Amino acid sequence: MTREAGAGLCVAVLLSCAPVVAQRQDQATSTAQPPSAPPAPSPHQGHEPQRPQPPSVPHVHDHQAAQDPVPGQTHPSAHAHDAPLGAAVPPVTEADRAAAFPDVEGHTLHDRAVHYQVLMDQVEWSGRDGGVAAWDNTSWIGGDVHRAWVRAEGDIVDGHVEGADVHALYGKAISPWWDLVGGIRQDMRPGPARTWAAFGIQGLAPYWFEVQATGYVGAEGRTHARIEVEYEFLLTNRLVLQPLVELEMYGKADPERRIGAGISSLETGLRLRYEIRREVAPYVGVTWERAFGGTADFATQDGESVSHLRPVIGLRVWF
């Protein structure tokens, strides 16, 4: 090879490698290049009006990240309830407990205390038919489940006792609103005295109807049933309107007492009372009584009316 050919070959090789070498030098230069100098301060620095900064918007992800505990670490409030209260909160004393839970009057449900009530539901008088006085009493004594009951009612017409009976019953609560009762009933008037075995149910029906349903079995196969329903309309806090319905039925006739078989009588009443105190309430009202069937026939034979409409005035008392 001649000297001129070798020189030409070397020049060709150098020309082909020149771009690669230049690229590597540029990369090295950019890597090793020092940071640029800060801009020169403006001659008006400090005199330019400051621009208002936009309100900062909380970053939801950063907030949640701040709340989420880091694995392996315990949140500072995790055991805050286990920390002692310190001297700022004094310990509870017996005097504090006595002040928070004082003894009050009343009784615990199903306790062993004995209570009682005497209710004179009707003590009334009417000027019709020569003057009629009537009474209706219900009393009890006992606890929340077991009680002894006494019922007594009757009327006096023109100075003579026309009807009177007394119940002595044992009652047992079968629900918060109902009692089963059983015992005896004694009739003094009219006619000869009668003794009955009594059994029934009493209590508060839905919609606040007070109900008494009692069945009776007497001597010589006599049977009797009495149903009484009443309601109280609270017109004001002290003014109460009380309607009442009472129905009596007998299984067989009793001529000595002037009572026929079947539906014997129906009595309704409407009384308006004013409660001076809850325990004392005078009232005015009207009552209507009607005899049916054989009982009406006996009344007609005796020259008596089969129906009576009477205005009444009376007093309701309980303690």
Average pLDDT, the chain: 81
Q: Would you state the pLDDT for residue 159?
A: 84
Q: Under a CB-based contact definition with an 8 Å cutoff, are residues 196 and 181 in contact?
A: no
What is the chain's pLDDT, residue by residue, as a tens digit (319 residues)? 445 455 455 445 455 555 544 455 555 444 444 445 455 545 445 444 455 455 454 444 444 444 444 555 555 454 445 555 556 778 888 888 888 877 666 555 556 789 999 999 999 999 877 789 999 999 999 999 999 999 999 999 888 888 899 999 999 999 999 999 999 999 998 889 999 999 999 999 999 999 999 999 999 999 999 999 999 999 999 999 999 999 999 999 999 999 999 999 999 999 999 999 999 999 999 999 999 999 999 999 999 899 999 999 999 999 9
Pick among 3.40.50.720, 2.60.40.10, 3.20.20.70, 2.40.160.40: CATH of 115-318 = 2.40.160.40
| Domain map (residue ranges) of the chain | 115-318
